[in-house]
Amino acid sequence: MSGTSSTLHPPADAVPPVRHPDAPAPGEPLGAHYDQCFGCGGGQPHGLHIEARAGEGVSVTAAFTVRPVHQGAPGLAHGGVLATALDETLGALSWLLRTIAVTGRLETDYVRPVPVGTTLHLEAEVTAVAGRKVYSTATGRIGGPDGPVAVRAKALFIEVKIDHFVDHGREEEIQAAMDDPDQVRRARAFEVNP
């Protein structure tokens, strides 16, 4: 058992998360937020290809199957890849809040080794919101959605404007994203948050 750093404890003025009225219905696939995303994009051959679905409240479920390219030790998933799976699943919670947020802090517990070929069944939920700060937790189970926990995480995501990506991303990828009508549509879905 491990502790959690104090910055991952919501402050006294934090409030429960509110599911956006236009959030995808429970069970609905969320799709990739960006085709070139290492976590969810279909355009990354060695990526995790995580498929997330909306859950009840402000929660999501997702699945990630570990492939040989994801190894750390022989036959076992790399810890950084597992952290990516947790991070990506937590990031998908933005679809439920309809805000754009990036990972500020991610703390991960590795409870069981995850062999190649295993499907990691992931769940994540927002636990509290304080201004731009979004507090969330995630678990990854093996052997089925109700199987034993192999990894878990607590995270603090920080809400940002779309300018965060335009200002900091490399020019060629930003331009390609802006030229892609599907990408612009996905970004706008978040920007209209009241």
Ligand X SMILES: CCCCCCCC(=O)SCCNC(=O)CCNC(=O)[C@H](O)C(C)(C)COP(=O)(O)OP(=O)(O)OC[C@H]1O[C@@H](n2cnc3c(N)ncnc32)[C@H](O)[C@@H]1OP(=O)(O)O
Q: Which positions lie near ligand X, rule CB under 6 A? A: 7, 33, 39, 87-88, 91, 94, 100, 102-105, 131-133, 156, 158, 160
Q: How far apart are CA 167 and CA 181, in angstroms?
A: 20
Q: How far apart are CA 106 and CA 38, in angstroms?
A: 17
Q: Which residue number, 124 or 142, has a Cβ lying nearer to ligand X?
A: 124
Which residue of this chain has its Cβ atom nearest to ligand X in the complex? Answer: 91
What is the smallest separation between the CB atom of 138 and ligand X, expressed in angstroms?
Answer: 12
Angle of the 171-178 helix axis to the 181-191 helix axis, nearest 10: 90
Q: Which residue number, 73 or 185, has a Cβ lying nearer to ligand X?
A: 185
What is the smallest separation between the CB atom of 148 and ligand X, expressed in angstroms?
Answer: 25
The dihedral built from the CA positions of residue 181, 182, 183 and 184, taken in this order, carries a sign that is positive
The dihedral built from the CA positions of residue 112, 65, 69 and 84, taken in this order, carries a sign that is negative
Q: Token pair of 7, please?
A: 């910055």
What is the smallest separation between the CB atom of 185 and ligand X, expressed in angstroms?
Answer: 14
What is the smallest separation between the CB atom of 10 and ligand X, expressed in angstroms?
Answer: 11
Q: Which residue number, 116 or 128, has a Cβ lying nearer to ligand X?
A: 128
Q: Which of 100, 98, 92 is nearest to 122 (CA)?
A: 92
Q: Which residue number, 55 or 91, has a Cβ lying nearer to ligand X?
A: 91
Q: Which residue number, 146 or 163, has a Cβ lying nearer to ligand X?
A: 163
Q: How far apart are CA 104 and CA 171, in angstroms?
A: 23
What is the smallest separation between the CB atom of 88 and ligand X, expressed in angstroms?
Answer: 5
